């Protein structure tokens, strides 16, 4: 089975997110290239090994339970309340914040350099190279069907640690 770049895969017997990989494509010898979702070096799998993997369905990805947690970020002693589904990036937490807390993050961490763009429904900060980083709003679903709008300010780019639920 050929996988498509960007698909999330796991070993056939695994339960997502354990061991989840993001497909990067194939090399010139037909070997599967993928990297761990939680961050890390690109892995290479021989053609025969590819049969040991399956694509993670959208339903599986969306069924991860969200929980409220506290987070802190390198460079500040402030704590922020947000949401996590347990996803990690290079070993670091990937938090999402409700609007008011996202504003607080922008004010304290981005030191006034960030802003909210209501047309795009996103927060905008700049990275060290002066390029815009866009943190779009999204709805997450709680048990019982309740939805909460959150913004992943710094998620997958800044060094966040989850400190408590």
> Which residues are CB-contacts of 40 (< 8 A; sequence separation ≥ 6)?
90
Classified as helix, coil or strand, 35 is strand
Whole-model pTM: value is 0.68
| pLDDT value, residue 130 | 83
| pLDDT value, residue 38 | 66
Strand partners for 116: 123
| pLDDT value, residue 165 | 60
**Alpha-carbon radius of gyration of the chain:** 18
**Closest by Cα among 57, 35, 52, 56 to 44:** 35
Q: Could you say which residues of the chain have pLDDT below 70?
A: 38-39, 112, 143-144, 165
d(C-alpha 17, C-alpha 14), whole Å: 8
Residue listed under structure tokens 């990067």: 24
| Long-range contacts of 16-25, Cβ-Cβ distance < 8 Å, separation of 24 or more | 16/56, 16/60, 16/61, 16/64, 17/64, 17/86, 17/87, 20/56, 21/53
Sheet bearing 8-11, strands edge to edge: 43-45, 32-36, 21-26, 8-11, 53-55
- The torsion defined by the Cα of 25, 96, 161 and 90, in degrees rounded to 10, comes to 0
Biggest CA–CA distance in the chain, Å, is 52
- A 10 A CB-CB count for 3 gives 20
| pLDDT value, residue 87 | 83
d(C-alpha 27, C-alpha 62), whole Å: 30
d(C-alpha 45, C-alpha 132), whole Å: 35
| pLDDT value, residue 150 | 96
């Amino acid at each position: 089975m050929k996988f498509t770049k960007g698909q999330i895969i796991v070993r056939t017997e695994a339960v997502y997110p354990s061991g989840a990989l993001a497909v990067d494509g194939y090399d010139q010898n037909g070997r599967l290239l993928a990297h761990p979702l939680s961050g890390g070096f690109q892995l290479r799998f021989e053609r025969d090994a590819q049969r040991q993997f399956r694509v993670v369905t959208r339903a599986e990805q969306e069924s991860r339970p969200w929980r409220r947690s506290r987070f802190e970020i390198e460079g500040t002693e402030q704590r922020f309340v947000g949401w996590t589904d347990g996803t990690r990036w290079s070993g670091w937490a990937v938090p999402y914040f409700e609007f008011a807390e996202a504003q607080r993050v922008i004010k304290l961490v981005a030191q006034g350099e960030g802003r909210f763009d209501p047309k795009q429904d996103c927060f905008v900060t700049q990275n060290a190279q002066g390029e815009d980083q866009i943190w779009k709003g999204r709805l997450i679903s709680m048990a019982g069907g309740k939805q909460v709008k959150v913004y992943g300010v710094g998620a997958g780019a800044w060094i966040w640690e989850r400190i408590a639920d």
